[in-house]
């Protein structure tokens, strides 16, 4: 675990944002608004909000219009496209869960972690298939039949789907399922990863509130993970999947993002780059509208269960709640299997 360093980029300047002292020195807000901001976060953290109240209404009421326009609206818009109908409960839950880790963040060795889980499962005679894109699901005689793009077919008694709801709806046509999943919309994102010979910035996490950039946030991971050789930059832009940017070629995106990275990272130069990757994620985040409803873990279709972070609102969209939802579904199935064998 390392000390986390958040910075806001606003009006061409970077502002440290890690403590109450930083907030009190935060020039983009007036002294009065800095105090109101602190009060708003504390109030949201301890009192929460209601799902039906929008970010705009809640922030304007508790923090004031200036705070909404200067800080919160640009932040929420950069994630969800708009802040008008986004639930304020997401914001207050995020403050609650993130405040406990604000100064301590760490990264697991995911490859090692997954390999470890794989080993345990294989020991229990679990068969794991990877790289199987499921293109159709049919329910027949109380079984689920899954068809994959490489023409494999899987027949199962129990199904836990972790596929994003819009995809599941497309490949499994069923009105009952539709009624559980229909209202969930997603936003896409474009991520970039740049591996460099040297560290490119002293800032770990820059949250970019300037609209002239596409990248809403950039990280220099070598400030967090001391075992990284050289530097590792990560940046992201959330977009609509139909937008021109999302549909641009990787070489166009590379040009656009590199230009921004040169401006955002103070020590970045072209000849420092070892590798540059663009990754597009179609279903990057559910959009938490004020009428958002978590689908059930156990659907009305016999032996069909749902898991995924989209079921865990208002918990923040991170790996923890996603894993938790999978664990919950797996426990329900195991319980049922045990009951059936008694
Ligand atoms: C840019 C970005 C940065 C993030 N950073 C962090 C972070 O630092 N820390 C953190 O904790 N969380 C982070 N998150 C959040 C975290 O990644 C998610 O909360 C988590 O991955 C959600 O898990 P999930 O299983 O619900 O969905 P997903 O991870 O989206 O899993 C859904 C899976 O379904 C698969 N799938 C889709 N269609 C099909 C199909 N037809 N057939 C078979 N499979 C299919 C997809 O390939 C995917 O693997 C980040 C998310 C994004 C987008």
Q: Alpha-carbon distance 73 to 269, whole Å?
A: 32
Confidence of residue 138 (pLDDT cuts 50, 70, 90): very high
- Final residue of a structural domain among 75, 99, 123: 99
Residue in 337, 281, 282 with CA at minimum distance from that of residue 305? 337
Q: Are 188 and 281 in contact (CB under 8 A)?
A: yes
pLDDT at 304: 97
Q: How many domains does the chain have?
A: 3
Q: State how far Cα 144 lies from the chain centre.
A: 30
Query: Does the beta carbon of 190 sit less than 6 angstroms from any atom of ligand 1?
Result: no
Res. 294: pLDDT tops 80: yes
DSSP output for 40-69:
HHHHHHHH---TTSBHHHHHHHHT-HHHII
Query: Does the beta carbon of 281 sit less than 6 angstroms from any atom of ligand 1?
Result: yes
Q: Are 305 and 158 in contact (CB under 8 A)?
A: yes
Instruction: Decide which of 1 and 72 is more confident.
Output: 72
pLDDT at 110: 83
pLDDT in tens, 211-220: 899 999 999 9
Residue in 135, 178, 184 with CA at minimum distance from that of residue 301? 178
- Is residue 1 included in any domain, yes or no? no
- Final residue of a structural domain among 99, 118, 134: 99
> Going by CA atoms, what residue is nearest to atom 2 of ligand 1?
284
Section 243-250 average pLDDT = 97
> Which run of H or of E encompasses 321?
helix 319-341
Res. 104: pLDDT tops 90: no
pLDDT in tens, 254-265: 999 999 999 999
Confidence of residue 3 (pLDDT cuts 50, 70, 90): low
> Going by CA atoms, what residue is nearest to atom 38 of ligand 1?
163
> Going by CA atoms, what residue is nearest to atom 44 of ligand 1?
133
Mutate to test the pocket of ligand 1, among 319, 323, 327 (most ligand atoms within 8 A of CB): 319
Residue in 118, 117, 141, 143 with CA at minimum distance from that of residue 128? 118
Same domain flag for 10 and 152: no
- Final residue of a structural domain among 40, 72, 99: 99
- Is residue 104 included in any domain, yes or no? no
The CA 308 to ligand 1 mean position distance, Å, reads 8
Res. 307: pLDDT tops 60: yes
Q: Alpha-carbon distance 22 to 44, whole Å?
A: 19
What per-residue string of b and e applies to 208-239 under the rule 16 or more CB within 10 Å gives b? Answer: bbbeebbbbbbbbbbbbeeebeebbbbbbbbb
pLDDT at 295: 95
pLDDT at 97: 84
Give the domain extent around 149. Answer: 110-184+296-341
Give the lowest-confidence range in 92-101, 191-200, 269-278, 321-330: 92-101
The CA 23 to ligand 1 mean position distance, Å, reads 32
Same domain flag for 172 and 307: yes
> Going by CA atoms, what residue is nearest to atom 32 of ligand 1?
163
Query: Does the beta carbon of 163 sit less than 6 angstroms from any atom of ligand 1?
Result: yes
Query: Does the beta carbon of 148 sit less than 6 angstroms from any atom of ligand 1?
Result: no
pLDDT at 1: 45
The CA 284 to ligand 1 mean position distance, Å, reads 7
Same domain flag for 207 and 239: yes
């Amino acid at each position: 675990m390392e000390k986390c360093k958040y910075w806001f980029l606003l009006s061409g300047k970077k502002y440290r944002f890690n403590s109450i002292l930083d907030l009190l020195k935060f020039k983009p807000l007036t002294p009065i608004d800095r105090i109101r901001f602190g009060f708003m976060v504390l109030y949201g953290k301890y009192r929460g909000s209601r799902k039906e109240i929008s970010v705009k209404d809640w922030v304007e009421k508790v923090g004031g219009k200036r705070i909404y326009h200067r800080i919160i609206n640009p932040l929420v818009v950069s994630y969800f496209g708009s802040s008008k109908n986004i639930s304020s409960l997401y914001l207050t839950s995020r403050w609650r869960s993130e405040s406990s880790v604000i100064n301590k963040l760490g990264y697991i060795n995911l490859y090692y972690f997954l390999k470890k889980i794989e080993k345990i499962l294989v020991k229990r005679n679990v068969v794991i298939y990877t790289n199987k894109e499921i293109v159709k699901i049919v329910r027949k005689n109380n079984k689920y039949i899954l068809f994959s793009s490489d023409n494999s077919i899987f027949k199962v008694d129990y199904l836990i789907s972790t596929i994003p709801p819009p995809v599941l709806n497309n490949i499994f046509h069923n009105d009952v399922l539709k009624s559980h999943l229909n209202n969930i919309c997603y936003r896409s994102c474009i991520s970039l990863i740049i591996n460099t010979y040297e560290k490119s910035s002293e800032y770990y996490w820059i949250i970019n509130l300037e609209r002239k950039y596409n990248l809403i946030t950039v990280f220099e991971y070598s400030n967090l993970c001391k075992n990284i050789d050289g530097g590792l930059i990560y940046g992201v832009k959330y977009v609509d999947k139909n937008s021109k940017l999302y549909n641009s070629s990787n070489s166009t995106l590379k040009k656009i993002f590199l230009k921004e990275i040169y401006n955002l990272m103070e020590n970045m130069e072209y000849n420092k780059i070892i590798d540059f990757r663009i990754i597009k994620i179609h279903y990057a985040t559910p959009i938490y509208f004020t009428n958002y409803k978590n689908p059930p873990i156990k659907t009305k279709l016999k032996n069909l269960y749902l898991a995924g972070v989209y079921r865990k609102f208002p918990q923040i969209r991170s790996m923890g709640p996603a894993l938790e939802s999978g664990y919950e579904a797996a426990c329900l199935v195991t319980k049922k299997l045990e009951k059936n064998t008694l």
